[in-house]
């Protein structure tokens, strides 16, 4: 645990270093291609598209809150400054808690002309003084650039354990579902992987994070019913998912197995939930997915997992690929996986990447990670990205 906290604090210091404004396009001379990473230093990236403009939100680049960037083409980004401040009139978080209040993983949704920002942070109600006291909040604004004001002076709900990585799925029948990750903190789980770690002398115990889903009230003031467990790390070593989802433990990075950073969408009457496993600060952070015929499962993990992972074994320079969201090209003909990663050049700094993805016959394919030139997203006007 001490080793984990040391790594955690060191990496988090990098997270909250202010991002430098970078608007120089990453493109070739003809202006028809771009290359990853994009010129934004964010973790946990999320993209909203509204009224002809993309807005990018993420962890980092702000002082105890969240910043945003805007773009017309998904490639060239303009800083919009800080859009959420913890000390708004309804602020419920504790900026003095560990990790400067842990303002992480913002996602913004447009609903009936308003913009709602879901995020996680340290809750100031903490009588037992837990180190990880994360909860999920929601703030509202009239514009995608804020300022966002919390709907209430408390989190959306309190499940009794720390939670992060909010994602909301809106069903065609008007219902909304909140997905989140229960943190590893004090969540010791027995498994054959934990047994192996003890036998090998790597760790005495293994903690896990699990993904849950629950229906949201229409006004986002709370939840309806009890959360449903949707995804967790494999219990048995013989499980097809065990090898890739346990690499942080088997590589002796940390004594934790994560299931986090989920994003849910629906296509052709099938529900897909993409998720990240392994240590977000390590090399093995990777993305998998599961499918279901219902928004609250049961979900079945794909045999093709992981669908995005480091490429250094193939001579590439990318590691730590994870916590993705989904975006579409301006003409909606192309689908993109938006994720953070690290490269040999960027070092420990998390940077944003986008790669094309395909969903066909119940299967997700992500064509990445890439650092070589690729075409601009389809539907981008020529005048936007040429000199």
Buried b (16+ CB within 10 A) or exposed e, 204-222: eebbbbbbbbbbbeeebee
Kindly name the residue from 165, 207, 215, 260 that is annotated as catalytic.
260
Phi, psi at residue 32, to the nearest 5°?
-110, -10
Buried b (16+ CB within 10 A) or exposed e, 8-20: beebbeebbeebe
Please name the residue that has the structure tokens 């047994």: 195
Pairwise CA distance, residues 259 & 158, whole Å? 20
**Catalytic residue at 195?**
no
**Catalytic residue at 44?**
yes
Kindly name the residue from 44, 94, 150, 355 that is annotated as catalytic.
44
Tokens of 33: 């291609």
Strand order in the sheet with 43-50: 43-50, 53-59, 65-71, 78-85
Pairwise CA distance, residues 27 & 32, whole Å? 7
Residues that are catalytic: 44, 260
């Amino acid at each position: 645990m001490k080793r984990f906290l040391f790594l955690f604090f060191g990496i988090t210091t990098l997270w909250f270093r202010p991002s430098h404004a970078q608007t120089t396009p990453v493109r070739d001379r003809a202006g028809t291609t771009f290359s990853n990473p994009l010129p934004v230093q964010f973790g946990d990236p999320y993209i909203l598209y509204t009224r002809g403009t993309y807005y990018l939100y993420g962890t980092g680049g702000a002082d105890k809150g969240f910043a945003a960037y805007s773009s017309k083409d998904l490639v060239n980004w303009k800083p919009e400054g800080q859009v959420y401040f913890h000390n708004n009139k309804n602020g419920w978080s504790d900026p003095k808690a560990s990790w400067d209040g842990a303002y992480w993983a913002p996602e913004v949704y447009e609903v009936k002309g308003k913009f709602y920002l879901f995020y996680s942070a340290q809750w100031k109600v903490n009588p037992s003084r837990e180190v990880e006291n994360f909860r999920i909040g929601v703030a509202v604004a009239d514009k995608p650039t804020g300022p966002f004001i919390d709907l209430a002076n408390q989190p959306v709900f309190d499940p009794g354990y720390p939670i992060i990585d909010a994602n909301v799925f809106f069903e065609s029948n008007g219902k909304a579902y909140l997905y989140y990750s229960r943190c590893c903190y004090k969540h010791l789980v027995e498994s054959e992987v934990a047994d192996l770690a003890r036998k090998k002398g790597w760790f005495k115990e293994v903690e896990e994070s699990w993904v849950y889903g629950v229906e949201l009230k229409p006004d986002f003031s709370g939840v309806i019913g009890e959360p449903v467990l949707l995804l967790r790390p494999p219990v048995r070593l013989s499980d097809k998912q065990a090898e890739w989802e346990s690499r942080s433990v088997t590589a002796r990075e940390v004594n934790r197995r994560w299931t986090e950073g989920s994003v849910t969408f629906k296509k052709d009457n099938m529900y897909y939930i993409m998720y990240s496993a392994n240590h977000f600060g390590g090399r093995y952070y990777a993305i998998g997915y599961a499918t279901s015929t219902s928004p609250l499962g049961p979900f079945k993990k794909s045999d093709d997992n992981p669908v995005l992972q480091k490429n250094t074994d193939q001579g590439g320079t990318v590691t730590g690929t994870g916590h993705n969201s989904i975006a579409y090209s301006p003409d909606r003909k192309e689908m993109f996986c938006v994720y953070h990663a690290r490269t040999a050049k960027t070092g420990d700094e998390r940077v944003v990447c986008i790669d094309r993805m395909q969903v066909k016959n119940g299967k997700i394919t992500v064509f990445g990670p890439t650092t070589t030139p690729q075409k601009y997203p389809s539907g981008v006007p020529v005048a936007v990205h040429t000199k």
